[in-house]
Structure 1
Amino acid sequence: MSTQDETTKKVVKKFNEILKELEHCDEDEQKKKIEEMNKMTGEMNEEEFKSVFTARMFNKINEIIKVKKLTIENLILLLKRISYFKMLAFISTQSFNYSLLCKKLKALIIDEDKKKERMNEKYFIDLCECYISLSYNFPPELLSICIPCLLKVALNKEENEETQNEVEMALLALSNIIYSKVAKELYIKEIVEIMKYHQEHRNLTHLAYQSAWHFLINRFRQDKSLEDVIVNELHFARETAGELNGLSKCVDWKREKEEEKAVVLMEWLKALDICFIYFRSRNEVFILLTNCIVKLFRAAKDKHRKISTYCIYLFKVAAEFGAFQISHLLNGGAVDAVLEEIHEPTLNDGIVGKMLLFFMNISKKLKKEGGDEMDMKERKMMKMDIFEKAEEEGYEDAIAGFHKTINFLNNKFHFKSLNIADYFMNI
């Protein structure tokens, strides 16, 4: 058994021991035990988190509530930390949905919603946040209750730390609604107001603002009519570029443990993935966006490999799909960045595959025939520009060096029987 496995077993054992002790404590002692459990939660890695918070664990918690040895208020103290850490670390798990505690929270939310007057609004908000943050899929009835509740919290414009934390948690919870279809009238007015207000006053944290965008981009998965709101009304490219620039300057790239700002950067890149594939707008602002990704790639290179690799992946996606033109990638610096990377001696198969697809897609687009005289002239100028950059960087020698790996990559990445000639650019 590996050292990591041993450590995980110890964490699980320790958490179980404290949970068992909860049954024999009064309410104040329970709070102290929960503080200890919350501290443990904040120090877990993803493997430890998934090993601790299983459906079985949540069922144990539900049983303690059932025999009235844990108050709902203390349950919320525990679940809020679990849900916040899960969301902050972007851990994907379905264990909560298969537990009796999930059913318990659903029932509590529905019962509370039926009350004509709620004595404790904060209690209801906490229930909604915990349920939405910990769950994986959501019945429409629960979404119609929880989304308006969380948006109401996020609309609070008071400028103090407590409000800012509440707004951040509400938006972070909403960003967990990924695949569920949500009626536009349930959210569009409020989310646009929240984002426009931030663009004018900059009242949200980086995490809260990214979470708001993530919620909206996830709705775009099912409703492509949102593109006009996202691109033109909320200025997605401009705002994303600003956040990428700002966050990359704040990240401590030398830290071994991934910090929150690096996590938020990664989530912006994931949002870009969806947009690059499905957007149809052709906007020169995308040159600015490409330039920001290039800067981020160079800042993260050799310091945060997950981010720099994802930048290469985004260049590949941009070269393949809708919104980007070759001129965006050329003028934004993406071609230069990938040409630099292709000479690195320690590239793995995944990165090689992404770079090969990037150059293949560019090569294919530059070889297209047809178009009016201006199109042909511009295409020829771009061909010449890229060809000269490639020649200067020794691109053809680098590609030739991958000759023996092409067949392997064809099989591994499901290329369509490509050969070395597909990657050369002829002028």
Structure 2
Amino acid sequence: MSTRGGTETNNTKKLKERFSELEDCNEIEQKQKIQEMNEMMDEMVENEFDYVFTIKCVFETSKLLPIYMPRILKVALKKEESEEIQKEVEIALLALRNVDEAKMKKERYLNEIKEIIKHHQEHHNLTRLAYLSAWEFFVNRFYRDKSLEEVFVNELHFVREARRELEELSNCVNWKRKKGENDGEKETKEEILLRRWLQALFSCFFTCELWNEEIVELLASTVKQKTGL
């Protein structure tokens, strides 16, 4: 079964089952299931990975949100820097970014997501994918709620952070690889992250009305680099 978000396979079915079982777990059982999910994810290819974290796949009914959201946010708020905890947080943020924005009120997530982003900016405790997912969670709500602009642009400094991430990821990409060369190779993790950051930045450019110096400078430098001026 193929979907716009990827492909359903035995791996994704098993992961969905573990995810759906979280609502009936105590804390110890939940930790065990999350570990099982981590191991399953390590074996997935990109299309499977994308499919698992689409809205239709993970959050099939809105009535489950009050059950899932507090628990997922609690996991996402963990600040330990061990590899195991980083993986748990990564999964939680990947799931959060796909929650239907129309079904979640701002007061249920805003302070927590701000805390996650600010803590990472100071302590760098998140993986690259987890940090991007936290921003994508924000971006997905940007269209409907313009009151987020002040927090998004001036308090959390999205553009500054995006610029730094783009620069670091750009240094990891093989720009000399010609079109058509090694077509059988998958995109690297860095290439996928770079593309997603660019998509988030594109959304910011075209939906944000609260432009500041950071946005203007980044847009100007992007145009300059593109045109070679």
Return the offset for 1:203.
1.2
Residue from 139, 144, 148 that aligns with 1:217? 139
Match of 1:167 in 2: 89
Q: How far did residue 119 of structure 1 move?
A: 5.4
**Gaps in structure 1 of 5+ consecutive residues:** 1-11, 13-44, 62-74, 84-100, 291-328, 341-388, 390-427
Deviations 1:96-128 (A, max 9, x none): xxxxx7xx975x455x17xxx555232565799
Report the AA paired with residue 155 of structure 1. L
Task: Give the unaligned 5+ runs of structure 2.
Answer: 42-50
Residues 374-411 of structure 1: per-residue CA shift (max 9 Å, x gap) = xxxxxxxxxxxxxxx7xxxxxxxxxxxxxxxxxxxxxx
Quote the residue 1:403 is aligned against: none
- CA deviations on 1:189-248 (whole Å, 9 max, x unpaired) are 111111000000111111110000001111222211111111111011111111111111
* Cα gap change, 1:234 to 1:160, in 2 (>3 Å): same
1:141 CA displacement: 2.3
Identity %: 42
User: How far apart, CA to CA, are the structure 2 residues paired with 1:278 and 1:199?
Assistant: 24
TM-score by length of 1: 0.42
Q: Out of 115, 127, 138, which is 1:193 matched to? A: 115
Residues 1:283 and 2:192 aligned together: no
Instruction: Give the 3 Å change call, closer, same or farther, for CA 181–128 of structure 1 in structure 2.
Output: farther
Q: Secondary structure at the match of 2:209?
A: coil
1:154 and 1:170 in contact (8 A); partners too: yes
Name the CA distance, whole Å, in 2 between partners of 1:180 and 1:209.
23
1:79 aligns to 2:14 (yes or no) = yes
Runs of 4+ off more than 6 Å: 126-132
What's the offset of the Cα at 1:179?
4.8
Is 1:240–1:268's contact at 8 Å kept on the other side of the alignment?
A: yes
Q: Which has the higher contact order (CA 8 A, sep 6+)?
A: 2
Alpha-carbon distance in structure 2 between the residues aligned to 1:335 and 1:159: 38
- Distance, in Å, in 2 between the alignment partners of 1:182 and 1:171 is 15
User: Are residues 170 and 235 of structure 1, via their aligned partners in 2, closer, same or farther at CA, if it must alter by over 3 Å?
Assistant: same
Aligned length: 208
Please give the secondary structure, in 2, of the residue aligned with 1:222: coil
Match of 1:6 in 2: none
Give the Cα separation in 1 of the matches to 2:102 and 2:35. Answer: 21
1:334 corresponding residue in structure 2: 223
The whole-number CA distance in structure 2 between the counterparts of 1:177 and 1:220 is: 13
How far, CA to CA, are the matches of 2:98 and 2:36 in structure 1? 15
Q: Please tell me whether Structure 1 or Structure 2 has the larger radius of gyration of its CA atoms.
A: 1
User: Cα–Cα, structure 1 residues 234 and 120, in superposed 2: closer, same or farther, change >3 Å?
Assistant: same
* Alpha-carbon distance between aligned partners in 1 of 2:69 and 2:60, rounded to the nearest angstrom: 11
Q: Which residue of 1 aligns with 2:154?
A: 232
Q: Report the Cα distance in structure 2 between the residues aligned to 1:205 and 1:167, rounded to whole angstroms.
A: 9
Structure 2 contact 55–100 (Cα < 8 Å) conserved: no
